[in-house]
Structure 1
Amino acid sequence: MPAITHHIPDAMIAAYASGNLPHPFALVVASHLSLCKDCRAALGAHQAVGGALLENTDGVDVSAGLKASIMDLLDAPAAPQPVFEPKGIYPGAIMEELKGKPLRWKTLGMGVKQSILSESDAGSARLLYIPAGQAVPDHTHNGLELTLVLQGSFSDETGRFGVGDVEIGDQDLEHTPVADAGDACICLAATDAPLRFNALVPRLLQPFFRI
């Protein structure tokens, strides 16, 4: 795999390590971590700092009843946890999200397809399939968007993004991503607000595509 040149920001890795990242973005970060040794090292550093802080934090007294309940939970046999291995280009975090269900692709037109993995008040996560040479309509963002490349590559006004790379889009980014020649580009994209398309037709279709 070519070298990854577009990484997760350190502050976002710290939020992921502390469990404070909304689920759609956590899914992208977890998937990127499975591909990027540099960001895994950064995660390990944040986890070590968090552990050190806990060790040096003064304890808090709790009631006898609460203490007994916690000890009972610790003594209870642990339920077996499912193991979701990577499958092809899809990291284990995506396979865990699917929980054994097959991907369901929905056509968006011009060969572009999507499969929505999750939707909630926190945002949405979806897989996008973009044929080589095809462009995503020109747009900007009402919130934050993380896009992780799983297959192929795409290019836009900011540069080229290959497998493992993450593009971060916000209200200041207006771009027209185009899938490069070669394999179709498959991406994992997470957003916390709808995109803002510039052309009329994509805006009209947006409610039906939930993007």
Structure 2
Amino acid sequence: MTIKHHPPEHLLAGFACGPLEEADRLAMAVHAGQCPTCRRLVKALEQMGGAALEHTASFPMRPHALSEVLAQVDAKPASALGDTRATSAHDPDLPNVLRRCHFGKMRRVAPGVKMQPIILPGTDKSRAFLLWSAPGLKMLDHTHSGTELTCVLKGSFTHEGGYYGPGDFDYGDDDVDHQPIVGNDEPCLCFVAMSGTLKGNGWLGRIVSPLIRL
């Protein structure tokens, strides 16, 4: 596996230090699990953070602070996920970090495109899902009102940023306009973490994009 596209540095730093939303953190875990280069960088950032903490002045906690936090954790209701672990969780093309996730129902979002949501804890604004696209499919020319983090798991696509194959990471935001085209050889399976909405370009894109629910 030759990986040419990696996450931007601010996401790697956020993954190492913690301040990422759940879906974005999962995207980084998926990529780091595939990419030795980024794993080494994340480990180095974690070590730098640990060294900095060793030289940071400590502050006393108020009495019973730990027991209060643990009581709040225990008071949270049990997960209402139920039996939502879908058969795709056992797909051999999924990395281990995704096989441990809970999945919603798969649905068709456009001709040749299916998605399956990943049910995450918390109330983050970002969301995560698997996206299957048919070989040779030309996706909608679009941008985003938020961010889109894409990890290629199987197959490939190309757009203005180049060729993206297994292990590659594609970062998009409201400064990026692109139109992915799926490779002809096989379907493309991606993990996607998204905040905001997809915004189609051109008059056709503006008509179609409200109908595409991702």
TM-score normalized with structure 1 length: 0.81
Counterpart of 1:4? 3
Q: For 1:23 and 1:66, locate their aligned partners in 2 and report how far apart those are by CA, in whole Å.
A: 25
* Long gaps (5+) in structure 2: 72-88
Matching residue within 136, 141, 165 for 2:139 = 136
Counterpart of 1:115? 116
Q: For 1:109 and 1:209, locate their aligned partners in 2 and report how far apart those are by CA, in whole Å.
A: 7
- Seen in structure 2, the aligned counterparts of structure 1 residues 126 and 153 have a Cα distance that, compared at 3 Å, is same
* Long gaps (5+) in structure 1: 74-84
Matching residue within 89, 93, 96 for 2:93 = 89
CA RMSD of aligned residues (A): 2.5
Aligned residue pairs, count:
194
Q: Show the 5 A alignment for 1:62-211.
A: 62-66=61-65, 69=67, 87-98=91-102, 104-118=105-119, 120-198=123-201, 203-204=206-207, 206-207=209-210, 209-211=212-214
Q: Indicate if the aligned counterparts of 1:105 and 1:114 stay in contact, CA closer than 8 A.
A: yes
Q: Indicate if the aligned counterparts of 1:110 and 1:134 stay in contact, CA closer than 8 A.
A: no
Letter matched to residue 148 of structure 1: C
Deviations 1:3-40 (A, max 9, x none): 10001122211111111011111111110011000000
Q: Identity over aligned residues, as a percent?
A: 32
TM-score normalized with structure 2 length: 0.80
Deviations 1:148-180 (A, max 9, x none): 100000001121000010111122221110111
- Where does structure 1 differ by over 3 angstroms across 4 or more consecutive aligned residues? 63-67, 118-121, 199-209
The 3-state SS of whatever aligns with 1:15 is helix
Deviation at 1:189, TM superposition (A): 1.3
Deviation at 1:90, TM superposition (A): 1.0
Deviations 1:36-57 (A, max 9, x none): 0000001100110111112111
